[in-house]
Chain A
């Protein structure tokens, strides 16, 4: 399990293609088995956790599921982190309000699997989830992924940075922000890794990324306040390095008020990361949890992610099968970087964390 997702996405796509017999796709279109639906309906409820309504379109995904199956979803603590999701499984064990399903980062999925917090389950569309994005035993499975992008508030910043080097230009003085500490916030961590890839580093050595931010800070371009959707739109942090799906969703939401551009930086290997679904071992509503997984891994569920600009796990398989409407594709950024993206594996992530812990505060000074 250690060399989780080390493959560049090119391989990732190939794997997806390989695992995908032509006969598998019809399963995607098939509705969940009536027995499962009725068992889930009998339970009547589903406890989710840490699903923000404006994140990867979870608002619509939840609403659609509830309407389709008449099952009430209790979504606890929408803004909780992956660590808190796992903690919630632990501390609410055997309680009816414990989470049924979680949506966590890969490091936390591995951690939860090792700790025995998850119950294995394989959805009907299992084979079209790329092998690099799932646990072979079905303990966890990637649901969607995104790339590191720049979100630019155009009413404050007249200029648009197209690559990482652009961020160092004087016109972005005091503007470039992360969504928190790279030691605590996932997208900020990814930003440092992506900057490393653009500056001669690699997934195994993110030092150049830390040095990039140190230089950015020295020039006064780095704005250390933790960026939020509000600070991007209000212009306090006019250039935010964040997941593409968050920047794109924010742009859509602010349409007509504040023009926001989303740029996948050019001239560098795009860096991406995915989230993972898992069913809690102590799920109070196990059948509803299974139905939830069947729903979000069906074509319908996966397209809902895409509608929220998050590329679903089965994206390449679905694109190949022509299951993605053209109108939806037209709203997305150019597909090319999504085919080139790389993900870090668990060992690389740990190494990067150590480098960050030792050097971030030492080198980056405001």
Chain B
């Protein structure tokens, strides 16, 4: 993404619209990040590396690893399942109603997270949930088989509930931009469905797929209320650790919270960096 303004052309108008955005970004993104930075490095007596160094402790490392694995898996599940769902819904043969039904549901479900979502899953798939109990009565013991809603795989399942709809919402426009003529042209030249997707469809969609993955990754990475309500802390995750030291009833250490948040920013920046590199490579293809 890059803004390029031509001098003299609607300069005032640009300023009127972009100016507030810049102010907004400074006030709500840049300044808080700088304050976080200052906080993470400040101790009782001036500067200290203590809190940032503490990020290397076993417990924190586990939390970061869990958060990364969980977010990557939840993003992957969302991208694949949501992408296929969006594709199926957009197919020409699909009745009109289905599409509006799916988009409306997605808009709701993508925003349904936090404690209510956790509770919905506890009530259905928890160890005493309706479905769990019902399955048990017909001889399928989910928890006996090793399933647990309160584990990392369980969290991926719960996250999928808001990740897949989000993917459908953000990916539909990209799919719509795939012109039918391209497919027809490919088929006329003898391409199979696989060939078309391998050489035309997916390469065109790749940048959108990548950015969707980043969005879903960030979405899962920052989710907090849902895992908190589901795990009693037995699956260590960074956002939950932050809440423990910032807004809990047991301990208090603002600087640790700031250092953890800084760690999250570093992860997100790194992920975006990888994305930027990948996008540039892909972009070369697109520009030609």
Contact = CB atoms under 8 A, between A and B. Distances in A.
B286 interface: no
A263 interface: no
Do most interface residues of chain A lie in helix, strand or loop, or is the interface mixed?
loop
A19 to B, nearest CB: 28
30 contacts: A80-B247, A81-B249, A82-B249, A83-B246, A83-B252, A84-B247, A87-B247, A175-B128, A177-B232, A180-B233, A181-B228, A181-B232, A183-B241, A183-B251, A184-B244, A184-B250, A185-B249, A189-B249, A220-B127, A220-B143, A224-B231, A225-B230, A226-B118, A226-B232, A231-B119, A236-B119, A236-B129, A360-B234, A361-B62, A366-B148
A182 B233 CA distance: 7
Interface in B234-276: 234-236, 240-241, 243-244, 246-252
B233 A361 contact: yes
Contacts of B234: 181, 217, 224, 360-361, 364-366
A361 B58 CA distance: 11
A175 B143 CA distance: 13
A83 B232 contact: no
B192 interface: no
A231 B249 contact: no
A156 B127 CA distance: 13
Interface in B135-174: 143, 148-151, 154
B128 A174 contact: yes
Nearest to B128: A174
B143 A226 contact: no
Contacts of B241: 183
Contacts of A217: 234
Contact of B248 (A183, A224, A225): A183
Interface string A236-277: 111000000000000000000000000000000000000000
B250 A185 contact: yes
Given A182-B233, A224-B234, A361-B62, A235 B128 contact: yes
B210 interface: no
Interface of A: 80-84, 86-87, 105, 107-108, 111, 156, 173-175, 177-178, 180-186, 188-189, 217, 220, 223-226, 230-231, 234-238, 353, 357-358, 360-362, 364-366
Contact of B233 (A231, A353, A360): A360
Contacts of A87: 247
Given A236-B128, A358-B59, A226 B230 contact: yes
Contacts, number: 131
Contacts of A220: 127, 143
Nearest to B234: A364
Given A183-B233, A361-B233, A225 B252 contact: no
Interface of B: 58-59, 62, 118-119, 122-123, 126-129, 143, 148-151, 154, 228-236, 240-241, 243-244, 246-252
Nearest to A50: B249
A86 B240 contact: no
A156 B122 CA distance: 16
Contact of A184 (B143, B148, B240): B240
Contacts of A173: 127
A366 B247 contact: no
Given A174-B127, A231-B122, A224 B150 contact: yes
Contact of A105 (B123, B231, B233, B249): B249
B232 A236 contact: no
Given A84-B247, A189-B250, A231-B119, A181 B127 contact: no
A58 to B, nearest CB: 16
A-B pairs, top 6 by smallest CB distance, nearest first, are A181-B233, A174-B127, A184-B248, A186-B249, A224-B150, A366-B150
